[in-house]
Structure 1
Amino acid sequence: MQPQPTGTTEQPAPSHSSPHIVAYLLDSTSSPPPLPPPRAAMPPAGSLTAEQLSFFDANGYLVLEPFSGEEDVQALRDRMAELIAGLDDGGADGTQHHRMEMDDYYFNSAENISFFYEDKAFGDDGCLKQPKELSIRFVGHALHEHDPVFKKFSFSENISSIFPSLRYKRPAIVQSRYIFKIIHTYIHTEPPSCTGLWFALEDATVNNGCLWAIPRSHKNSLKIRMIKDENGTYFDRPTPSYDHKEFVPLEVKSGSLVVIHGNLVHKSAENLSPTSRHAFVLHLVDTEGCEWSKGNWIKRKTAPEAIYVSS
């Protein structure tokens, strides 16, 4: 993995850190939606150093290692274990969780805590083939809103202090995911208005499905857009192909945070090892002066809560 700057010396953010809004999640030409009261005052600006900001601008990602202590890691893992223990073991109730990602259960999860199982987790009788803790693919997409343990971490000063450096005025979390051992390969393309935070709850290596990214790919325009409208859910163009040689592995220790630019091409390979690789993922956008795109798959009934509001 490439060496990266560390430290938290206060520095002014360069002009390139200003978020650019495009019509995938947000549309800067529209009026802002009604916003809830602010949750917290804006934290001190400049939590990232000038060197860190320069690396992030050049490469599209930044590893903060360490970011949080073992206490936070264990609290999130223990809480997820409690949530899973409270689930049924299968049958009719279990089958309702086993849906394809593009169905109503997935889309209705935007403001819920929903459980998504592996494609072959259930047998013909509708029951799980393995224990539920080995069958779940991920949990999403509103842990940060509805669970007190995950909300405490998501709205912590550790998280919020990153965004003044990136010149966010009213950042809000639009989705969260707890990801387990077995996941499928994805290449994410988000709008430049979105920043992803990937918090490692276990060591992530090339052997157990760490993140891979193409450095500097965020400087290219958005190559594909997923749209959900009256015509259904579809992509506006074929999925781009990438040479694996362009990707670099982002191996990190438990407690590390990977900050990901919204346009960075990145993926996570399927974990075929016996070693699990849990992670908690947040996506935030700046809601100041922006309106949610009608084509975005997340259809919220209420506006997302800001983690701070700048004066």
Structure 2
Amino acid sequence: MYSACLAVLFLKTMSTARQDQGLTAAQLEAFDRDGYIIVPSVLPPATVESLLVETRRLLDEELSLDDHPMTRFSTGGATGEDHVGDAYFLESGDKIRFFLEEDAFDPATGLLAKPKHRAVNKIGHYLHALSPPFTALLNHEGSAPPKARPAAVARALGFRDPRCLQSMVIFKQPEIGGAVPPHQDSTFLYTNPPSAVGFWYALEDATLANGCLSFLPGSHRWAPITHRLVRKTGGAGGTKMVSNDGARFPEGAEYGEDKKSEPEQGQYVPGEVKAGDLVLIHGNLLHKSEKNLSQKGRIIYTFHIIEGGEGSVYDGRNWLQPPEQGFTKVYPPGV
């Protein structure tokens, strides 16, 4: 996994047409060095619009507040201890469910103070299987955008059997869109060894003003996965953070705490993007976003893949558990 040097050599032998479907050698080198890359204009405007139309349809037709448990999405802050973990959340791995923004509620009354389309923090976690417009992004039969196809990107990154395990539409609502503290995706989507990669598609422009992502370049090389979000045991329900007693880095000599560069922690770099851009995020990379205090929201679509091949173990304690049919294959049948 993440054997970028070998992948670069492999890509240099590929045709230009083939590279257009995955990643170029320069993009692979940047991902290996920084732990993230921004690939511009991956989604054509028509695809972006179709996904926004589907998002609006889900909010209008599928979200009913009459029987909603009013589950608020919380990252749990710096420690993750108060991360959302009710049954509505824990049982969302094979469903489309709606999680509300904490600041959409009146603190005095506890009642929702925003209309529903301005109150949702995210929609998840099975859009890639249950919503045709979002399914098309993962589709290996040709309906996915021709540039940076997920399967080709996964192959370029060295995945043997990539599986999509969760997908989300994430909102940064105007004025109330919450900040997300520095975190690593493999903390929440752990395999042994770590293998998660995030595909993050901007459906609207993301700027410093409305809470774009920021990254700590190179931190994927030296920042270990020290903790994991797991389900509580003993019938108590909910989630908790526990110390990680498994592998803390992907396999490879390029990883380890001794790889920390100077200055010791470095500076976070904002990743402003345009609608249609794709951000690829290494599972060990430290990244964050600030609260949206502007009048303009932003909407993105993201899914994560993990290695499902031999030698990679998905733990039964993870908060997200596979549906009966298993996590969704990214490669076409027979590949």
> Where on the TM-score scale, by shorter chain, does this alignment land: which range?
0.7 to 0.9
Match of 2:293 in 1: 272
- In the comparison of the two structures, how many residue pairs are matched? 270
Indicate if the aligned counterparts of 2:162 and 2:330 stay in contact, CA closer than 8 A.
yes
Match of 1:215 in 2: 217
**Selected match of 1:118 from 75, 98, 101:** 101
Secondary structure of the structure 1 residue equivalent to 2:90: helix
Secondary structure of the structure 1 residue equivalent to 2:168: strand
Indicate if the aligned counterparts of 1:212 and 1:266 stay in contact, CA closer than 8 A.
yes
Secondary structure of the structure 1 residue equivalent to 2:298: coil
Once the two structures are superposed, the pairs formed by residues 72-221 of structure 1 within 5 Å of their partners are 72-87=47-62, 90-91=65-66, 93-98=67-72, 101-122=84-105, 128-155=112-139, 156=144, 158-181=149-172, 182-191=177-186, 192-220=194-222, 221=224
Indicate if the aligned counterparts of 1:209 and 1:268 stay in contact, CA closer than 8 A.
yes
Moved more, 104-113 or 184-193: 184-193
Q: Which runs of 5+ in 1 are unaligned?
A: 1-11, 18-42
* Percent identity of paired positions between Structure 1 and Structure 2: 31
Q: Which runs of 5+ in 2 are unaligned?
A: 9-16, 75-83, 187-193, 245-263
Cα distance in 1 for partners of 2:73, 2:27 equals: 41
Residues 120-141 of structure 1, C-alpha deviation per residue, up to 9 Å, x if partnerless?
4356888632211111111011
Once the two structures are superposed, the pairs formed by residues 257-296 of structure 1 within 5 Å of their partners are 257-289=278-310, 290-296=312-318
TM-score, scaled relative to structure 2: 0.73
**Selected match of 2:241 from 235, 238, 241:** 235
Indicate if the aligned counterparts of 1:212 and 1:267 stay in contact, CA closer than 8 A.
yes
Shift of 1:245: 6.4
Change in Cα spacing, 1:97 to 1:228, as seen in structure 2 (3 Å) is closer
Match of 1:4 in 2: none
* Aligned-residue RMSD, C-alpha: 2.8
Once the two structures are superposed, the pairs formed by residues 4-23 of structure 1 within 5 Å of their partners are 14-15=5-6
Of structures 1 and 2, the one scoring higher in RCO (CA 8 A, sep 6+) is 1
Indicate if the aligned counterparts of 1:160 and 1:308 stay in contact, CA closer than 8 A.
yes
Change in Cα spacing, 1:58 to 1:145, as seen in structure 2 (3 Å) is same
